[in-house]
Amino acid sequence: MSKDQLDRRTLLVATTALGATALMPGGASAQGGAPAAGPLPARGEFVVRGARVLTMDDKIGDLAAGDVHVRDGAIVAVAASVAAPGAETIDGKGMICLPGFVDTHWHHWTTLLRPVMQADDPKRTYFPVTFALGLHYTPDDSYHSVRLGLAQALAAGVTTTHDWAHNVRSPAHADAEVKAMRESGLRGRFAYGPALGMPNDKPMDFPDIARLKKEIGSDPMLTLGINSRNVDGNTGGTRGAIDPAMAKKEWSTAREMGLPITLHTSGTGAIKLLNEAGLLGPDLQLVHPLNTDAADWEALAKHGVHYSVSPLGEAGRAGEMQFIEMIQAGVKVSISIDNVTAERADVFACMRMLQTINRHRTGGKFKLTTKMLVRMATLGGAEDLGFADRTGSLTPGKRADLILVRTGEPNMGDIGDPYDALVQLAQPSDVDTVVVDGRILRRKGAFTALDYGKLLADAAQSVAALKAKANWS
Ligand SMILES: [Zn+2]
C-alpha cells in the first residue's frame, strides 16, 4: 500500500468515526511531486457538548455550559442543550468553545526561513534574511513556506488568515501560494503583492491579478486583495517604496477591480500622504499603528480605514503602539501575527501583550477588557477582512469555524472568567480542536489530515537550496 493510500485509509477511519461520508480529493505540490498532506477531512455532522461557549454574538451571548451543532460546514444551533439524533458528539467539558482566531496580516512566504535567523546578529534578523533569500524563491519554495505557516496557524487555533504575499515573483508564485491556502483548509484572503527587489517605478502585475481574480471567482473560503509597496516618502528599505502618483495608479486599478488594499505604515507620514492624494477609504487596511498623530486618527476614522496591530513584533519597533488612540478615535483594530520567522504563531500572546501595553501606557485608564481583546481576535478580524457574514462568531447560519481550548492544563487549572483565561493564561498547546468550515482539522491537539513532518522536510529542502543560491553561510 502506498503512503498516499495509507493516508487515505487512516483518514477514512478518522472521518468515519465522525460520521463523515465522503473524502475530498488531495493535492500534489505546486510543481508536481509527492503530496504535502493528505486530503481534507469531509464536513460531517457533530455536536460539541457541554463546553463553555463564547459566541461573540451579542444576541446569543455566552453559555456557562452549552452545545454547538454543526452540519455540512454550517453552524446549525447554539443552545444550552441541542437535540441532534445521529450526530457525533465531541465532548466539550473542561473546554472553552469560541470562534476560531482571525489573523489579519501574515507573511506566510517567509515561514521556512526561521532556521536562518539569529536574533542578536543584525545581519541575520528578519529584514536582511528575508530579502537576501527571498530574491531566490521558486514557486515550490513559496508553496512549502505557506503550507508550513498555515499548519502553524491551525495548531494555534487560527482558522482565517490574511496571506500578505509581498514576494510574488511570477504568476506561478501566486498560484503556489493560493494552492497552499486551498489545500490547507483555512479560510483567508490572498493579498497579491509585488516581487522583492523589483524597480519602484515598475507597476505590479495587474494582468495576472485579473487572471487570478477570475480563477478564484466567488470562493467562500478564499478572497483576493492586493498589498502595496510602502507609500511614506522613504525610498530606502528592502520592501520597495512608491510615490503617491504610482500609488494612485495602482490603487485605482485595484479599486476598479473591486479588490481591497493593504499597506505597511510603520514609518512616519504615510497617512498624510495618502489623505492628500485622496486614497483613504473603507477598503484600505493599514498595518502597524506606530508614529501617527491625532490628525491621522481623525482622517482614518472619517474614511473608515482599519488597522491591523501585530503586537509580537511591533513592541520591538521604534514608536509607541497606538492601537489605543486608534480605538478611541473610532478606528477598527484587529490582530495579526505578521510572521513566524522572527515570532511565533500565538494569538493568546498577542492579546496578552495588548492588554499589558495598554496598562503600561495608560495605567489602565483606557478600558480594554479581556472580552474586547477576544472580540478583536475573532469577529474584529472577520470584519476587517470582509468575512463577518460567514465567520467570526458562533451564529447559526454562519460557517463553522471554531476552536476548543482546554482549561485543565497546569498553566490554567481552575479558571474563573473565561475571557481572562484566554488572554492571561492560555497558550497554543491548549488548543485541542480546530474546525474550519465544518472540517475538523485538529483533534486532541493533533492534525487529522496533515503530515507536519513532511511539511518540515519540504521546508528544510527549500532552505538548503535557497542558501546555496544566495551564497548564504
Ligand atoms: Zn508585515
Question: In which residue are the cell numbers 460557517 written?
Answer: 399
Distance (angstroms) between ligand 1 centre and the Cα of 342 equals 12
* Cross-strand pairs, 444: none
Q: Please provide the average confidence, as pLDDT, over all residues in the chain.
A: 92
Question: Which pLDDT value is given to residue 386?
Answer: 98
Of the candidates 383, 303, 340, the one whose C-alpha atom is nearest the C-alpha of residue 151 is 340
Task: Return the SS3 of 34.
Answer: coil
The CB density around residue 378, as the number of other CB atoms within 10 Å, is: 31
Residue 388's closest CA among 149, 76, 99, 77? 99
Decide if pLDDT at 30 tops 50. no
CA of 284 to the centre of ligand 1 (A): 15
**Sequence-ordered list of residues with C-beta below 8 angstroms from that of 74, at least 6 positions apart, any chain:** 396, 397, 398, 399, 400, 438
First to last CA, the chain: 41
Phi, psi of 158 (to 5 degrees): -85, 120
Give the residue-averaged pLDDT of 146-152: 98
DSSP string, 322-341: -HHHHHHHT--EEE--B-SS
410 Cα: distance to centroid of ligand 1 (angstroms): 34
Å from CA of 26 to ligand 1 middle: 31
Give 338 Cα–ligand 1 centroid separation in angstroms: 5
Of the candidates 234, 178, 228, the residue with the CA atom closest to the CA atom of residue 206: 228
CA of 345 to the centre of ligand 1 (A): 14
Task: Count Cα neighbours of 313 within 13 Å in the Cβ-side half-sphere.
Answer: 25
How far does residue 107's CA lie from ligand 1's centre (Å)?
6
Q: Decide: 117 and 126 in contact? Cβ < 8 Å.
A: yes
> Residue 396 has what DSSP assignment?
B
Tell me how far the alpha carbon of residue 319 lies from the centroid of ligand 1, in angstroms.
Answer: 16
Our CA angle for 461, 222, 115, nearest 5°, is: 25
Alpha carbon of 229 to ligand 1 centroid (Å): 11
CA of 62 to the centre of ligand 1 (A): 34
Residue 412 is predicted with a pLDDT of: 93
Radius of gyration of the chain (CA): 22
Query: At a CB cut-off of 8 Å and minimum separation 6, what does 234 contact?
Result: 241, 267
Cα of 119 from ligand 1 centre, angstroms = 18
**473 contacts 138 by C-beta, under 8 angstroms:** no
Q: How many CB atoms lie under 10 A from the CB of residue 387? A: 24
User: Which among 414, 378, 57 is positioned nearest to 66, based on CA atoms?
Assistant: 57
CA of 157 to the centre of ligand 1 (A): 20
Helix axes 126-134, 452-469, angle to 10 degrees: 80
Report how far ligand 1's centroid is from the alpha carbon of 264 (Å): 6
**Cα of 191 to ligand 1 centre, how many Å?**
12
Q: Tens of pLDDT along 320-346?
A: 999 999 999 999 999 999 999 999 999
- Cell numbers representing residue 24 in the block: 475530498
For 181-239, write each residue's pLDDT tens digit: 999 999 999 999 999 999 999 999 999 999 999 999 999 999 999 999 999 877 667 78
- What's the pLDDT score for residue 240? 84
Task: Determine the distance from the C-alpha atom of residue 376 to the mean position of all C-alpha atoms in its chain, rounded to a whole number.
Answer: 13
Using the mean position of ligand 1's atoms as its centre, give its distance from the Cα of residue 339 in Å.
Answer: 7
**pTM of the predicted model over 0.85:** yes
Between the CA of 96 and the centroid of ligand 1 the distance, in Å, is: 30
Phi-psi region of 143 (alpha: psi -120 to 50; beta: other; left: phi over 0): alpha
The 3-state DSSP class for residue 225 equals strand
Q: What spacing in Å lies between the alpha carbon of 421 and ligand 1's midpoint? A: 28
Strand partners, 402: 99, 435
pLDDT tens digits, 268-312: 889 999 999 999 999 999 999 999 999 999 999 999 999 999 999
